[in-house]
Structure 1
């Protein structure tokens, strides 16, 4: 399938710092395997940690908000497929794609459901159980409208798929379940080469520290969890890794308390192969947690919350423990850290979860088939899901005309 794919990225992918970056590179690999020629455009700048897309023969293009630069690029590339990275990107640029390339298949990669994460964050801040979060928000209206406008939306979690289809009645024909993936089954040789329980030490916590759930996790560790863990395990340390730590997190660094803010880890594999237990006390969030996938790959058991485990595993097969209270979190952390048989069972469960749920081979063929089907039947598909065409209508496109007004004003001011 020699087709042109244009990805409009919220940012340039940083797989070494974020799960979202790893997710984008997985999508690029899937489309490359289909023979797509790929272009990548973004309003963001390229950072020192951005993936070098040129090495994968991907051309990169700078575009601007409220500007015709994307129109020019669309006419140059003439994409068969346009992939939007998160719904805000579709809001900003989807109408331009529809105007210039009306026959291009439009795909939204949700990453996670932003409205779900935001609603849970609001509930957490107000001291309300996240299960009682109010989901019917303006952000939900915007994100679901974006999903309805697109020909396909990639959903990373089965929980989110069920929420969209059952609670919000989004047609299942617009959604495709595509979780975080592992490229191949972990071999027995690699498992045996990993450090054993007795050769590992210390706790670890991971996550990009621009991401609100990760910041909240570190705060909980510092204030509520680590003091009690350290009291029971005085020789243990907690090493916190993550890029872009704000000042409030950096100031938590305390070697005398064994609470160490380590910053960005260029080779996260070395961290995960040598740590004994991962702590992931996520109080809110959505989607799948890349830190848990990574930990399982390197045989590292995890203590997490129901939010952390959501869409990945349940109590009976958790690669560690799922704790519903902070007291249970602390108790299970001590048990996992000190009990070798329990630790070994948790490690095995992690390998089994990756083997049975997240293998790339489980999804690649069906994804390719669905893309080909959309390319061949796009007009029939859009007639079947006519609500998306209604939302593309000019009376619904306030974003479009606001953008055109700003573009005209900017042009006049130059």
Structure 2
């Protein structure tokens, strides 16, 4: 990776977070931390600001040399803060943050490169969730479950395009100079169905550290594991599907097997599912996700909707733990390489795959090798980090030309700024008349 030139001015980067990153609680926060480390390695001066309250497991950014700043929504104090900081690069964490702060950055730092960290396409996740809800309302939901995973881009576009969420999200993508996408499948959806210019997108998947050197083998492991933040709707839906449909089928064939479900911010509705007699254990937050993952024989991730790529499945590969998931789980994860586990589309097939993988040592060991190969070929940290820094550097060098080619984005930024300006003038006039 290219290193910072000590003779050049230090790049000032402002990262505006949707939340304070908790890398041990969610893959989205883990990706934020990976990005921050990429920027730190360049010697850049980083300020992380967020309007969110601090969570239980937040990372100590100050210890890394990152300046922390609490900011407020709709506050003029942000104006003076960003004007004084005068960043060269501003990263918005998810499109709602760009909506709230993008126009203020445009007003006070018009020459700053605007980068959106998407994490995933939220409008895609929402559309799939609505599709699932409609399917579950039918009497033949389980038998028709495979239809959830057979949506071509034209169908996804039709489900997404009319939603307020998609209109807002795609507008934010246009307003930014660069959008970081973890999923190349979502990039294809945006460029083909939504006609977003490819020049506005950059593939930046998860950038994990190297795999565990000597994880436990097949004989040393036992039981199943599922993991994920309970606040994330796809994870909670997966837990319910496991509880109500999948796990009873697994226990019929493996009556001594246990399922350990880990997740941050465990709500009472999840705790209520805890049932040791059925081998169904709600384990709350895992302080070391890799440690518990490395003890499990099989990772279960029966995701019926979602977007982006899945941190839990990257963790499984790092620990040499084969997984059973759905096409939503594998989407954009493995390219043309074999999946390190098994993939199925309904409860019976997922249970069958889980039992087969749990019992078959030869298949299990091959899946483990496939996972390590996948990590090495598709997720090399240094290559993706270098590509990101190069893209940002190139865009900074030719920002006027890049923006000129994105007239739609310039138009949207103009109207966003004008609408907030008119609203402020209207409020001021109304106050004078009061």
Task: Find the aligned partners of 2:220 and 2:51 in 1 and give their Cα distance.
Answer: 46
Task: Assess, with a 3 A threshold, how the Cα gap between structure 1 residues 307 and 159 changes in structure 2: closer, same or farther.
Answer: same
Runs of 4+ in 1 over 2 A off after TM superposition: 128-133, 313-316, 394-410
Q: Is the 1:66–1:406 contact (alpha carbons within 8 Å) kept by the matching residues of 2?
A: no
Pair 1:311-2:332 in alignment: yes
Task: Find the aligned partners of 2:425 and 2:372 in 1 and give their Cα distance.
Answer: 51
Instruction: Tell me which of 257, 260, 276 is aligned to 1:239.
Output: 260
Q: Is the 1:194–1:299 contact (alpha carbons within 8 Å) kept by the matching residues of 2?
A: yes
Instruction: Report the alpha carbon displacement of residue 394 of structure 1 after superposing the two structures with TM.
Output: 3.3
Q: Deviations over 1:98-152 (max 9, x none)?
A: 0000000000000000000011011111118442550112211111110100000
What is the match of residue 33 of structure 2? 25
Task: Find the aligned partners of 1:281 and 1:397 in 2 and give their Cα distance.
Answer: 45
What is the match of residue 310 of structure 2? 289
Pair 1:71-2:79 in alignment: yes
Map 1:9-408 onto structure 2 (within 5 A): 9-127=17-135, 129-130=147-148, 131=151, 132-133=155-156, 134-136=159-161, 137-184=163-210, 186=211, 190-191=212-213, 193-313=214-334, 317-394=338-415, 398=419, 402=423
Task: Find the aligned partners of 1:323 and 1:403 in 2 and give their Cα distance.
Answer: 53
- What SS class does the counterpart of residue 219 from structure 2 fall into? helix
Q: Deviations over 1:370-398 (max 9, x none)?
A: 11111111111111112111111137754
Task: Find the aligned partners of 1:194 and 1:251 in 2 and give their Cα distance.
Answer: 33
Q: Is the 2:340–2:368 contact (alpha carbons within 8 Å) kept by the matching residues of 1?
A: yes
Task: Find the aligned partners of 2:412 and 2:424 in 1 and give their Cα distance.
Answer: 17
In the superposition, the TM-score normalised over structure 1's length comes to 0.94
When the two chains are superposed, the root-mean-square deviation of aligned CA atoms in Å is 2.2
- What SS class does the counterpart of residue 49 from structure 2 fall into? strand
Task: Assess, with a 3 A threshold, how the Cα gap between structure 1 residues 253 and 159 changes in structure 2: closer, same or farther.
Answer: same
Task: Assess, with a 3 A threshold, how the Cα gap between structure 1 residues 316 and 4 changes in structure 2: closer, same or farther.
Answer: closer
Q: Is the 1:391–1:397 contact (alpha carbons within 8 Å) kept by the matching residues of 2?
A: no
Q: Which moved more, 1:216-225 or 1:389-398?
A: 389-398
Q: Is the 2:103–2:417 contact (alpha carbons within 8 Å) kept by the matching residues of 1?
A: no
- What SS class does the counterpart of residue 363 from structure 1 fall into? helix
Instruction: Report the alpha carbon displacement of residue 174 of structure 1 after superposing the two structures with TM.
Output: 0.7
Runs of 5+ in structure 2 lacking a partner?
A: 5-9, 137-146
Instruction: Tell me which of 6, 13, 27 is aligned to 1:5.
Output: 13
Equivalent residue pairs, number: 408
Instruction: Report the alpha carbon displacement of residue 14 of structure 1 after superposing the two structures with TM.
Output: 0.2
Instruction: Report the alpha carbon displacement of residue 364 of structure 1 after superposing the two structures with TM.
Output: 2.1
Task: Find the aligned partners of 1:217 and 1:407 in 2 and give their Cα distance.
Answer: 49
